[in-house]
């Protein structure tokens, strides 16, 4: 636990209390305190309205004013401070998703736990607060959040909560894809992803939620789920899903999930090379054209698909042995090649010549020296003699 973060939160609470209002630490920070997990974000709930919060602290950021939430910046850290949902702390906690998230903490570390969240944490049980149907009607994303806690914490979902999840799955289609992805990513990269996907399959989420249609074949595959355990990031997860599902319209699919350009480019580059890597393994040229970061990701996916251990050390070694690591290291550039060409030769040849030089250096046919390169180009007939 980060004691300094809690101390700063307590000071914020103290300032709010001094104005005659209640304030408590709530949510994930309280849960993670009992789970003995590292705490990064501390949220505060208060009886104070937003205008009081904003006037009490010199640095605030409006993030969800209509929902009563502002970010208070205090001693170099950010704290989400939200006015009660309801008329009191107990009313606020009654509207939270799961019992493990419906606890509050005073600045003196007194726990308010009306729904026995501590007991559920001890028993590894995920239980909706009060009526589970109401909780999932209020926000269908909580269905995926429940599965996320299975993946991250290896918790078991209580029977009535699971039944309510099953009933309200179709409503996930109404949730913005960005919010769906936020939870789905945590599911895919959790420590117990296989257990989480057993629930996804049991609830038939991939059949009922439109976002998953293009890759549902992969999401139903036991082999794929075993392979997912080796993935370290969502680039690798997407490649695994798309490859197993044999879905080739990578860009449109990933754009529909609002993925960043870097991820889309990585997926496309690795997908194009993956069939060869699966058949022949890695060469130095593969490492070069992918670059070390994408090569490591490609190796993890390749190994996962073959149910083998990834050979990351081999990839690093192959990359280290390369005579050049990227094209700009070649000791001749386009401007210099132009001067070597005949006046009537098309300038489009520059890229072609550089590609041949690049390949020759990588295959160690020539050294990466300007004079050596020029002589080789002449010998191979790519440029004319002097």
User: How confident is the model at residue 1, as a pLDDT?
Assistant: 53
Question: Do 140 and 202 belong together in one domain?
Answer: yes
For the chain, the farthest-separated pair of C-alpha atoms sits apart, in whole angstroms, at 89
User: How confident is the model at residue 289, as a pLDDT?
Assistant: 93
Question: Do 362 and 317 belong together in one domain?
Answer: no
Residue 186 corresponds to which tokens in the numbers above? Answer: 């945590």
Instruction: Please report whether residue 202 resides in a domain.
Output: yes
Boundary of a domain, candidates 298, 322, 346: 322
Question: Do 43 and 100 belong together in one domain?
Answer: yes
Could you tell me the pTM of the whole model?
0.88
**Residue whose token pair is 């505060």:** 44
- The DSSP H or E segment spanning 371 is helix 370-379
Q: Which segments of the chain have a pLDDT < 70?
A: 1, 385-386
Task: Count the Cβ atoms, other than its own, within 10 Å of residue 381.
Answer: 8
Question: Do 136 and 109 belong together in one domain?
Answer: no
Question: Do 1 and 89 belong together in one domain?
Answer: yes
Task: Count the Cβ atoms, other than its own, within 10 Å of residue 115.
Answer: 20
User: How confident is the model at residue 376, as a pLDDT?
Assistant: 94
DSSP string, 315-331: HHHHHHT-S-SSGGGSS
Looking up residue 253, the CATH number of its domain turns out to be 1.20.58.560
Under DSSP, is residue 23 helix (H, G, I), strand (E, B) or coil?
strand
User: How confident is the model at residue 355, as a pLDDT?
Assistant: 92
User: How confident is the model at residue 239, as a pLDDT?
Assistant: 97
Under DSSP, is residue 229 helix (H, G, I), strand (E, B) or coil?
coil
Residue 223 corresponds to which tokens in the numbers above? Answer: 């082999």
Supply the DSSP symbol for 98: B
Q: Which domain holds residue 154?
A: 124-208
In the chain, the N- to C-terminal Cα span, in Å, equals: 72
């Amino acid at each position: 636990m980060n004691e300094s973060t809690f101390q700063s939160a307590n000071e914020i609470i103290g300032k709010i209390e001094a104005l005659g209002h209640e304030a408590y630490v709530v949510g994930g920070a309280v849960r993670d305190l009992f789970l003995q997990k590292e705490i990064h974000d501390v949220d505060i709930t208060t009886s104070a309205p937003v205008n009081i919060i904003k006037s009490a602290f010199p640095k605030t950021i409006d993030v969800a004013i209509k929902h009563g939430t502002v970010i208070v910046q205090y001693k170099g850290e950010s704290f989400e401070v939200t006015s009660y949902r309801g008329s009191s702390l107990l009313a606020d906690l009654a509207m939270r998703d799961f019992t493990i998230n419906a606890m509050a903490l005073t600045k003196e570390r007194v726990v308010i736990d009306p729904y026995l969240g501590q007991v559920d944490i001890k028993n590894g049980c995920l239980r909706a607060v009060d009526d589970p149907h109401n909780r999932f009607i209020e926000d269908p994303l909580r269905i995926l959040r429940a599965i996320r806690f299975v993946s991250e914490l290896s918790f078991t979902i209580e029977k009535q909560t699971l039944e309510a999840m099953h009933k309200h799955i179709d409503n996930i289609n109404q949730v913005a894809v960005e919010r769906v992805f936020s939870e789905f990513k945590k599911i895919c990269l959790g420590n117990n992803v296989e257990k989480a996907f057993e629930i996804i399959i049991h609830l038939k989420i991939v059949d009922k939620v439109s976002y998953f249609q293009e890759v549902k074949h992969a999401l139903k595959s036991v082999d794929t789920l075993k392979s997912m355990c080796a993935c370290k990031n969502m680039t690798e997860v997407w490649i695994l899903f798309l490859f197993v599902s044999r879905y080739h319209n990578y860009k449109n699919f990933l754009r529909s999930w609002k993925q960043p350009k870097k991820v889309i480019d990585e997926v496309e580059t690795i997908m194009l090379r993956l069939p060869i890597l699966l058949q022949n393994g890695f060469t130095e040229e593969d490492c070069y054209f992918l670059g070390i970061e994408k090569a490591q990701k490609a190796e993890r996916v390749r190994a996962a698909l073959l149910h083998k251990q990834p050979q990351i050390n081999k990839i690093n070694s192959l990359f280290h042995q390369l005579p050049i690591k990227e094209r700009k290291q070649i000791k001749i550039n386009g401007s210099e090649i132009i001067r070597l060409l005949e006046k009537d030769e098309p300038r489009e040849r520059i890229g072609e010549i550089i590609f041949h030089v690049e390949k020759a250096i990588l295959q160690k046919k020539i050294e990466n020296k300007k004079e050596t390169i020029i002589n080789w180009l002449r010998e191979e007939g790519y440029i004319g003699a002097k």
